[in-house]
């Protein structure tokens, strides 16, 4: 008996976690997928009714706005954070004496909750007493910066706060990447008299392709899951001008009592995440097992 | 920048001081840009701090960036023990302790399980172990929206709906993927010969873990604990979905204070509350920044 236990102990130890993941991740995904094909409203119903929920979802102007916003926010957030992160990493890589301090300052927003970040920027960007009022106070009476309350521009305030929060992290990723480039090649290029900017654009940056991919995956993942930042910064408003799929799903699930819509929107979110993450993870795992 | 633009010595002497001047100018430009960005990242923290120390009167009449004319800690006191989250007006204090009560057991449990899982996957390979690892890893990346609805029902069935043990349970389950990943990636760097030799000497599965692996694990335990603590402390989605009045974590309470529609908007209280909610993770970051960054990058650049 004790022999059997000793032989099987590794499996016995792993089993609870594995079963938990099977039920609470994969089982739950299955449940949500199933319910997304029913007419569930306030309570789940289990008779399959085809794609009615998805048809309703795609016909909903609010969902349309949410997907448009995800596209605008996602693109700007990823591009700006990557450009800023790369730029700062290159600047910091020039044997800057105070690098440690500067790095600490650039990265601390990542330690904060999105709710804290959203609260801070909501105050800074509020037109009545924030930045706008301050610059008006400097004598620029006609200055307006009311993006936070302007339905056409509110989504860009989410970009501003999101980039502030995450760009330092991208900088850290790129800095680690820059440090891992083979120093010999760079020295050889310097001896040949190749200018610094050429060394960066022709040698260093191309060799960091895997880091670009990692940064992209992390940022895309953050963008799709963005929920708390919008809740704290704009509450999804004005109206539902800054709704994202995550806030739409939450509204359907917990305030509208429309489980069918909540389930189908969650499935679309998962579809978006998986088309981005699965190929990446698959190649990572395969590379490791080979 | 041991200079790259003028690497041939002959070249630089012929150009002389002009090149040197432009080099100095470049350096100054570099420091100026880095300094400006430092100000950009610090500005919101500065604004939060100064706003929290001003009176409402001064906020209305003064400028966003101005230092407080008169420093008052009233807003901090209100934020801690008097601000209203909806109908209750007890400040952040009870919710701060809720977050502590959620975070400590959830961090401890998920780290312990992650260590054991990582140990099995890295050193006690059996058929299917890799598949299990892959399934756990994919689980890290799902958008949690996809499990919210069934989880709400299951917590209800388990009698844990709206309770702190319920939130602990949720955080442990969905933290497992990452903690297992951290420990697995750390333990694969420990030579398999070590385990084999110990097995030959008759050491048991748990004995090897206790006497060989645990003593080597301090760095990865620190990374995992910091990662999990930051994730759980900063969580909002699970907190807002699975709590009820009285069991909410601090992020949910902060959002309720800031967005409560009743009464006068007290910006100074909002800012003090935001700083209080952010302090524990900021403290961890300042004290153990190295491990914090390692956790962040381990989650993205693996191996």
**Domains contained in chain A, number:** 1
- Given an 8 Å threshold on Cβ–Cβ distance, is A10 in contact with B144? no
- Given an 8 Å threshold on Cβ–Cβ distance, is A117 in contact with B44? yes
Q: Which of A95, A123, A221 sits opposite B51 (nearest CB)?
A: A123
Chain A CB contacts of B153 under 8 Å are: 44
Interface membership of A122 toward B (CB under 8 Å): yes
pLDDT, position B261: 64
Residue B106 has pLDDT above 60, yes or no: yes
pLDDT, position B79: 84
- Quick check: B110 and B176 in contact, CB under 8 A? yes
Which residues, other chains included, contact B42 with Cβ-Cβ below 8 Å and sequence gap of 6+? A105
For residue B222, which of B188, B190, B186, B177 has the smallest C-alpha distance?
Answer: B186
Helical ranges in chain A per DSSP H = 2-21, 28-35, 52-59, 61-92, 99-107, 114-125, 131-137, 154-179, 183-191, 196-198, 209-225, 228-233, 245-250, 259-289
* Weakly modelled stretches of chain A, pLDDT under 50: none
Q: How far is B142 from chain A (nearest CA, A)?
A: 6
- Given an 8 Å threshold on Cβ–Cβ distance, is B296 in contact with A214? no
Predicted confidence band of residue B68 (pLDDT cuts 50, 70, 90)? confident
Q: How far is B135 from chain A (nearest CA, A)?
A: 8
Question: What CATH superfamily classification does B93-298 receive?
Answer: MetI-like (1.10.3720.10)
- Residues of A (66-105) whose Cβ lies below 8 Å from B: 88, 91-92, 94-96, 102, 104-105
Separation of alpha carbons B188 and B55, rounded Å? 56
Separation of alpha carbons A115 and B174, rounded Å? 20
pLDDT, position B3: 40
Separation of alpha carbons A176 and A159, rounded Å? 25
- Given an 8 Å threshold on Cβ–Cβ distance, is B33 in contact with A26? no
- Given an 8 Å threshold on Cβ–Cβ distance, is A11 in contact with B297? no
Chain A CB contacts of B141 under 8 Å are: 221, 273-274, 277, 281
- Given an 8 Å threshold on Cβ–Cβ distance, is B274 in contact with A119? yes
pLDDT, position A150: 82
Q: Is the link from the previous residue into A238 a cis peptide, with omega within 30 of 0?
A: yes
C-alpha torsion sign, points B57, B62, B66, B69: negative
Testing the interface with B: which of A70, A113, A114, A157 to mutate, by most B Cβ within 10 A?
Answer: A113
Q: Which of A9, A193, A270 sits opposite B8 (nearest CB)?
A: A193
For residue A190, which of B28, B11, B16 has the smallest C-alpha distance?
Answer: B11
Please report whether residue A197 resides in a domain: yes
Chain A CB contacts of B254 under 8 Å are: 115-116, 119
Chain B CB contacts of A227 under 8 Å are: 236-237
Predicted confidence band of residue B16 (pLDDT cuts 50, 70, 90)? low
pLDDT, position B241: 92
**Tens digit of pLDDT for each residue in B126-185?**
888 888 888 888 888 889 999 999 999 999 999 988 899 999 999 999 999 989 988 998
User: What is the full DSSP assignment across B230-257?
Assistant: HHHHH--HHHHHHB-TTT--HHHHHHHH
Residue B12 has pLDDT above 70, yes or no: no
**Tens digit of pLDDT for each residue in B254-296?**
999 888 766 678 888 899 999 999 999 999 988 887 777 777 7
Testing the interface with B: which of A15, A28, A98 to mutate, by most B Cβ within 10 A?
Answer: A28
For residue B233, which of B36, B42, B99 has the smallest C-alpha distance?
Answer: B99
Q: Is A9 exposed, middle or buried (0-12, 13-18, 19+ CB in 10 A)?
A: middle
Q: What is the largest CA-CA distance in chain A?
A: 85
Predicted confidence band of residue B7 (pLDDT cuts 50, 70, 90)? very low
- Given an 8 Å threshold on Cβ–Cβ distance, is A214 in contact with B241? no
Q: Which helix (H) or strand (E) holds A153?
A: none
- Given an 8 Å threshold on Cβ–Cβ distance, is B278 in contact with A24? no
Chain B CB contacts of A134 under 8 Å are: 63-65
Q: Which helix (H) or strand (E) holds A45?
A: none
- Quick check: A84 and A163 in contact, CB under 8 A? yes
Please report whether residue A39 resides in a domain: no
Chain B CB contacts of A211 under 8 Å are: 301
- Quick check: B179 and B119 in contact, CB under 8 A? no
C-alpha torsion sign, points A15, A16, A21, A26: positive
SS3 content of chain B, % helix, strand, coil (to 5): 75, 0, 25
Separation of alpha carbons B178 and B231, rounded Å? 11
How distant, in Å, are the alpha carbons of A112, B63, B176 from that of B275?
9, 20, 29
C-alpha torsion sign, points B170, B171, B176, B181: positive
Phi, psi of B33 (to 5 degrees): -65, -45
Chain B CB contacts of A221 under 8 Å are: 141
Would you list the domain boundaries of chain B?
Answer: 9-81, 93-298
How distant, in Å, are the alpha carbons of B124, B200, B218 from that of B193?
12, 10, 21
CA atoms within 13 A on the CB side of A38: 17
pLDDT, position B299: 58
CA A219 to chain centre: 4
Separation of alpha carbons A1 and B238, rounded Å? 42
Q: Which residues of B19-33 are buried (b: 16+ CB within 10 A; e: fewer)?
A: beeeeeeeeeeebee
Please report whether residue A106 resides in a domain: yes
- Given an 8 Å threshold on Cβ–Cβ distance, is B149 in contact with A266? yes
Predicted confidence band of residue B221 (pLDDT cuts 50, 70, 90)? very high
Interface membership of A56 toward B (CB under 8 Å): no
Q: Which helix (H) or strand (E) holds B130?
A: helix B129-139
How distant, in Å, are the alpha carbons of A135, B92, B133, B204, B209 from that of A2?
76, 52, 27, 11, 18
Place of tokens 């040949």: A192
- Given an 8 Å threshold on Cβ–Cβ distance, is B205 in contact with A6? yes
How distant, in Å, are the alpha carbons of A98, A227, B8, B192, B224 from that of A93?
11, 34, 22, 37, 28
Structure-block tokens of residue B50:
């100064």
For residue B250, which of B105, B91, B107 has the smallest C-alpha distance?
Answer: B91
**Tens digit of pLDDT for each residue in B80-103?**
887 777 777 888 899 999 999 999
Which residues, other chains included, contact B129 with Cβ-Cβ below 8 Å and sequence gap of 6+? A14, B120, B121
Give me Rg for the CA atoms of chain B.
Answer: 26
Residue B13 has pLDDT above 50, yes or no: no
Chain A CB contacts of B290 under 8 Å are: none
**What is the interface size between A and B, counted as CB pairs within 8 Å?**
274
User: What is the full DSSP assignment across A215-233?
Assistant: HHHHHHHHHHH--HHHHHH
Separation of alpha carbons A234 and A238, rounded Å? 7
Interface membership of A273 toward B (CB under 8 Å): yes
Residue range(s) defining the domain that contains residue A65: 54-289
With helix as H, strand as E and coil as C, how does B78-117 read?
Answer: HHHHCCCECCECCCCHHHHHHHHHHHHHHHHHHHHHHHHH
Q: Quick one: closest CA in B to A215, which residue?
A: B300
pLDDT, position B11: 43
- Given an 8 Å threshold on Cβ–Cβ distance, is B206 in contact with A9? yes
pLDDT, position B302: 43
Q: Quick one: closest CA in B to A249, which residue?
A: B145
Structure-block tokens of residue B110:
């998920």
Q: Which of B116, B282, B296 sits opposite A169 (nearest CB)?
A: B296
pLDDT, position B280: 94
Q: How far is A10 from chain B (nearest CA, A)?
A: 6
Long-range pairs for A15-21: beta carbons < 8 A, 24 or more residues apart: A16/B113, A17/B113, A17/B117, A17/B136, A17/B176, A17/B180, A18/B132, A18/B135, A18/B136, A20/B173, A20/B176, A21/B135, A21/B136, A21/B139, A21/B173, A21/B176, A21/B177
């Amino acid at each position: 008996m004790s022999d059997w236990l000793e032989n099987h102990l590794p499996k016995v130890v792993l089993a609870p976690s594995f079963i938990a993941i099977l039920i609470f991740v994969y089982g739950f995904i299955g449940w949500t997928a199933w319910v997304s094909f029913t007419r569930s409203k306030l309570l789940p119903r289990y008779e399959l009714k085809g794609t009615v929920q998805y048809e309703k979802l795609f016909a909903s102007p609010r969902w349309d706005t949410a997907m448009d916003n995800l596209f605008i926010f996602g693109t700007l957030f990823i591009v700006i954070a990557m450009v800023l992160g790369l730029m700062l990493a290159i600047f910091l890589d020039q044997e800057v004496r105070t690098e440690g301090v500067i790095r600490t300052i650039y990265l601390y927003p990542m330690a904060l909750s999105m709710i804290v970040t959203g609260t801070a920027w909501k105050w800074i960007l509020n037109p009545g007493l924030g930045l706008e009022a301050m610059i008006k106070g400097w004598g620029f009476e006609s200055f307006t910066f009311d993006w936070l309350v302007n339905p056409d521009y509110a989504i860009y305030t989410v970009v501003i706060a999101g980039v502030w929060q995450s760009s330092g992290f991208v900088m850290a990723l790129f800095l680690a990447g820059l440090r891992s480039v083979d120093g010999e090649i760079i020295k050889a290029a310097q001896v040949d008299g190749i200018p610094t900017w050429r060394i960066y654009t022709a040698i260093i940056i191309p060799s960091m392709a895997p880091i670009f991919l990692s940064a992209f995956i992390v940022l895309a993942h953050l963008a799709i899951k963005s929920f708390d930042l919008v809740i704290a910064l704009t509450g999804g408003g004005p109206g539902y001008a800054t709704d994202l799929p995550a806030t739409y799903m939450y509204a359907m699930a917990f305030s509208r009592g429309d489980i069918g819509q909540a389930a189908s929107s969650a499935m679309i979110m998962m579809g978006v995440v998986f088309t981005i993450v699965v190929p990446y993870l698959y190649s990572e795992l395969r590379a490791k097992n080979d | 920048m041991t200079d790259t633009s003028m690497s041939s010595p002959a070249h630089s002497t012929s150009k002389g001081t002009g090149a040197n001047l432009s080099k100095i100018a470049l350096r100054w430009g570099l420091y100026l840009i880095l300094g400006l960005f430092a100000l950009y990242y610090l500005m919101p923290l500065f604004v939060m701090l100064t706003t929290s120390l001003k009176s409402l009167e001064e906020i209305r009449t003064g400028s966003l960036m101005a230092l407080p004319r008169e420093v008052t800690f009233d807003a901090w006191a209100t934020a801690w023990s008097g601000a209203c989250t909806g109908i209750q007006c007890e400040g952040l204090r009870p919710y701060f302790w809720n977050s502590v009560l959620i975070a400590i057991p959830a961090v401890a449990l998920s780290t312990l399980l992650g260590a054991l899982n990582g140990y099995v996957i890295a050193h006690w390979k059996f058929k299917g172990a890799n598949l299990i690892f892959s399934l756990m890893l994919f689980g890290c990346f799902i958008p949690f929206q996809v499990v919210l609805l069934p989880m709400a029902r299951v917590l209800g069935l388990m009698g844990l709906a709206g309770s702190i043990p319920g939130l602990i349970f949720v955080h442990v389950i969905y933290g497992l993927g990452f903690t297992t990943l951290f420990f697995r990636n750390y333990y694969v760097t420990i030579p398999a010969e070590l385990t084999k030799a110990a097995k030959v000497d008759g050491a048991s599965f748990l004995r090897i873990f206790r006497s060989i692996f645990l003593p080597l694990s301090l760095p990865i335990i620190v990374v995992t604990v910091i990662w999990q603590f930051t994730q759980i402390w900063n969580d909002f989605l699970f907190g807002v979905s699975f709590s009820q009045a009285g069991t909410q974590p601090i992020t949910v309470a902060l959002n309720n204070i800031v967005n409560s529609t009743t009464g006068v908007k007290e910006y100074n209280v909002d800012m003090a509350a935001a700083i209080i909610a952010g302090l524990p993770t900021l403290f961890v970051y300042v004290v153990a920044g190295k491990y914090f960054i390692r956790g962040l990058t381990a989650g993205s650049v693996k191996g």
